[in-house]
Each structure stands twice: as structure tokens, then as C-alpha cells.
Amino acid sequence: MNDTERLAEVREKLAITQHDDEILWAMREIRFFLRSQNCSIKTVLEYGVDGGGNLALMANLIDSDGLMIGVDLAITEGRSAAIEAVAQRKVCLLNRSSIDPETTKLIATMVPGGIDVCFFDSLHTEEQLDNELEQALTLISRPAVLAFHDIGIGTQRHNVNGELVPSTSIFWDKIRKDERFDGYDAKVANKEGRCGIGLLWLEKGKEAR
Ligand SMILES: C[S@@+](CC[C@H](N)C(=O)[O-])C[C@H]1O[C@@H](n2cnc3c(N)ncnc32)[C@H](O)[C@@H]1O
């Protein structure tokens, strides 16, 4: 089933509305990059699962024997079952905080070969993303792709204390120029109010930084 057909199925079965054009774009780019690096996709990690729409769709990236891991502070059992049923890949959902180092240790035991793709879609603040990136960088293998949802949401977002702080957009402007990565691409907000995805490439054969 191609991504567009899969999206229709995910929408119907999980009763959600997805930001379709940007996520489909991101999936195409991720596949293209990792194929160019001779890498098959065995593991995808998502921080911030919520309704599971992106997770179930991105499971389509993964080889049939691969694993999709989702981390969210608040996944109900019923939702987990619904997401697993539609994803058609092995799915492991962790009801934990993405920025807790114990979560990272647990994930590391599940993926000895490392993570091929990490999708960031939890709290949309710069601080949260800094913390999640620090965790994710210990989990990824090279080559890999890091994908950041909602890079075009405006410059401020509320943190967990209700304070307005720098957002995903500020994080993206900083991180896309970071020398630890081998390049970036982005699809930014369009007139329908969709909020964009940024992709960072990590090529193979480089030292972990
Ligand atoms: C924007 S929603 C995710 C949308 C989801 N990717 C989708 O496709 O529908 C943000 C989610 O991040 C979760 N979240 C916020 N802070 C988190 C944290 N520290 N660790 C894990 N999940 C977190 C929230 O519980 C919420 O479900």
C-alpha cells in the first residue's frame, strides 16, 4: 500500500485529520535519503504520539521486520491497541517522558542497531527539543534522519509551566545550521495553516559527534 492510500486508511481507522502534504513529503525525502545511503529502515522513534496518526503512517517507512517506537506521557490502552492495529508493523508504545534519561536507556535495550529515523512532535518548545535531541543523539545510528514537526508555528509557545518561551521555529533556525549534521531540508507552513516539517540528515561513515 502506498503512503497516500495508507494515509486514507489511518485517517479513517484512527478518526484523525493529518497534515497530509507535509508528512507525505517528509516520508518521500526520508526514504530517498536513506536509500541513497544504502540503508534500509528498521527502526523509527516518535516523541509525542497523541492520536497516533503520524506514527501509524510513518510505520509505512519501516521494513516488515522492523520496529516503530512511540513515546508519550499520555497514551491510553485503548489508543495503543487502535494504533497497533492500524500500523501493520511491530509497534512499542511507551507511556513515559521523552526527556527522561531512563526512557532513553529503555529504548537502547530495544534497538541494539540504533534508530534510523527520529520524529519530534511533543511539546513544541526550544528547550524541550534541545533535551529530546540530546536523548535521541545517543540512540540513532548513522545514517539517520531527524524530523521536526511544526517548525513554522510562530516564535513562542507555552511550556509546562504556562510561560511563553521560544518555540520549535526558534529551535529549527538554530539547529539547521548546526555543524553536527550533514544538511537539512524543510517544507514550511503554507496558506492552509499547516506548520511544516524540518529534516536533518546524518550521513553514514562519520564519527559520532
Ligand atoms: C502535538 S501532539 C503529538 C501529535 C502526534 N504526533 C500525532 O500524529 O497526532 C503532542 C504530544 O506530546 C506529548 N508530550 C508532551 N510532553 C511530552 C514529554 N515530555 N514526553 C512525551 N510526550 C510528551 C503530549 O502528551 C501530546 O500527546
Q: What is the pLDDT of residues 98-119, one digit of tens each?
A: 999 999 999 999 999 999 999 9
SS3 for 55? helix
Distance from the Cα of residue 6 to its chain's centroid: 17
Question: Does residue 56's CB lie within 6 angstroms of at least one atom of ligand 1?
Answer: no
Least confident among 8-12, 30-34, 96-100, 193-197: 193-197
Task: With a cut of 70, say whether residue 208 has pLDDT above it.
Answer: no
Quick one: which atom of ligand 1 is closest to the CA of 122? Answer: 12
| Cis peptide bond prior to 166, omega within 30° of 0 | no
Helical ranges in the chain per DSSP H? 3-14, 20-36, 53-58, 77-87, 101-110, 126-137, 168-175
Distance CA(98)–CA(72), nearest Å, equals: 7
- What is the per-residue pLDDT for 209? 45
Task: Quickly count: other Cβ atoms within 10 Å of residue 139's Cβ.
Answer: 19
CATH of 3-202, one of 3.40.470.10, 1.10.540.10, 3.10.310.10, 3.40.50.150: 3.40.50.150
Confidence (pTM): 0.95
Question: Does residue 99's CB lie within 6 angstroms of at least one atom of ligand 1?
Answer: yes
Distance CA(157)–CA(137), nearest Å, equals: 24
Question: Does residue 168's CB lie within 6 angstroms of at least one atom of ligand 1?
Answer: no
**Ligand 1 pocket, mutate which of 13, 50, 54, 58 (most atoms under 8 A from CB):** 50
Q: Whose CA is nearest to atom 27 of ligand 1?
A: 50
Q: Structural domain boundaries of the chain?
A: 3-202
Strand 184-187 relative to strand 164-166, pairing: unpaired
